[in-house]
Amino acid sequence: MLELSLTEARVLGCLIEKEITTPEYYPLSLNATLNACNQKTNREPVMELTEADVRTAIFDLEGLGLVRTDASSRVSKFEHRIRDILNLRRDEVAVLCLLLLRGPQTPAEIRARAERLHAFDDNAAVTSTLERLSQRDEPLTLHLQRQPGARETRWMHLLSGTVAQEVAPLATAQRSSIAPNLLDQLAALEARVAALEARLDTLEPLTAPVASIE
């Protein structure tokens, strides 16, 4: 049974996300992986990892067989292998990716945020995927108890081991009370901002500085 650290989970989730959403820039360099981990959008919690943190996490994930280094280019790049190692379907990869990046979520939240990863027909399709992952010989998801004031129950991934079910933080309780249509709009906006950030991270200066005219 895997027990990833918070940093390892973040690195793995980012590699999965970028493979699907920005395949033209995948596999990721160390710097691109660091930028993806420290994004301010589509991440919960927001982290401020260092290059050393990410390098150590990649090394540990390689030891588990979940990440592979591509050294064919001048700069080493990294790709995940979770699909092969855990024998996952595309919808399962998408669900685990979001749980790795955002923590426990309801099926409605997952569906709204999964648009660029996998198109689920409805919330029931998300629930079906979550249940399938929870019924494996080594379960990968867990259905949490309903939190006080929440309208829906949440699910979490088990790639970091099992944890005690505690009362959700105030911010999570507040989000659960948001109208579903507003939550969908917020998730879509977050996805668009994340896509723009990912593209900005890959941009380099187009021209050399222009010499001053004397």
User: Who has greater pLDDT, 146 or 203?
Assistant: 146
Least reliable range by pLDDT among 47-51, 112-116, 144-148, 190-194: 190-194
Task: Tell me the average pLDDT of the chain.
Answer: 85
Q: Which two tokens stand for residue 150?
A: 């929440």
Interval 40-51 mean pLDDT: 97
Q: How many CA atoms lie within 13 A of 170 on its CB side?
A: 0
The two beta strands, 141-143 and 155-157, are: antiparallel
d(C-alpha 141, C-alpha 95), whole Å: 10
Of the candidates 120, 157, 195, which has an alpha carbon nearest to the alpha carbon of residue 12?
157
Q: Does residue 101 surpass a pLDDT of 80? A: yes
Name the DSSP letter for residue 3: B
> Which pLDDT value is given to residue 173?
43
Domain 6-84 has CATH 1.10.10.10: yes
Q: How many CA atoms lie within 13 A of 107 on its CB side?
A: 17
Q: Would you say the CATH fold of 88-180 matches that of 6-84?
A: yes
User: Who has greater pLDDT, 169 or 13?
Assistant: 13
Q: Which two tokens stand for residue 2?
A: 């895997």
What percent of the chain lies above the pLDDT cut of 90? 68
Q: Does residue 129 surpass a pLDDT of 50? A: yes
d(C-alpha 185, C-alpha 187), whole Å: 5
Domain boundaries, the chain: 6-84, 88-180
> Which pLDDT value is given to residue 176?
44
pTM above 0.85, yes or no: no
> Which pLDDT value is given to residue 75?
94
User: Who has greater pLDDT, 188 or 168?
Assistant: 188
pLDDT tens, 152-177? 899 999 999 876 444 334 344 444 44
What is the fold of 88-180? Arc Repressor Mutant, subunit A (1.10.10)
Q: Which two tokens stand for residue 207?
A: 């021209």
Sign of the C-alpha dihedral, residues 152, 156, 162, 167? negative
Q: Does residue 184 surpass a pLDDT of 80? A: no
Cis previous bond, 45, omega within 30? yes
> Which pLDDT value is given to residue 146?
87
> Which pLDDT value is given to residue 164?
46
User: Who has greater pLDDT, 104 or 152?
Assistant: 104
pLDDT tens, 130-149? 999 999 999 999 999 988 87
Burial of 101 (0-12, 13-18, 19+ CB in 10 A): buried
> Which pLDDT value is given to residue 167?
37
Interval 20-31 mean pLDDT: 97
- DSSP-assigned letters across all residues of 65-78: TSEEEE-SSSS-EE
**Distances, alpha carbon 88 to alpha carbons 108, 129, 133, 191, 204, in Å:** 21, 11, 9, 23, 36
The 3-state DSSP composition of the chain as helix, strand, coil percent (nearest 5) reads: 50, 10, 40
Q: Which two tokens stand for residue 32?
A: 């691109």
pLDDT tens, 53-62? 999 999 999 9
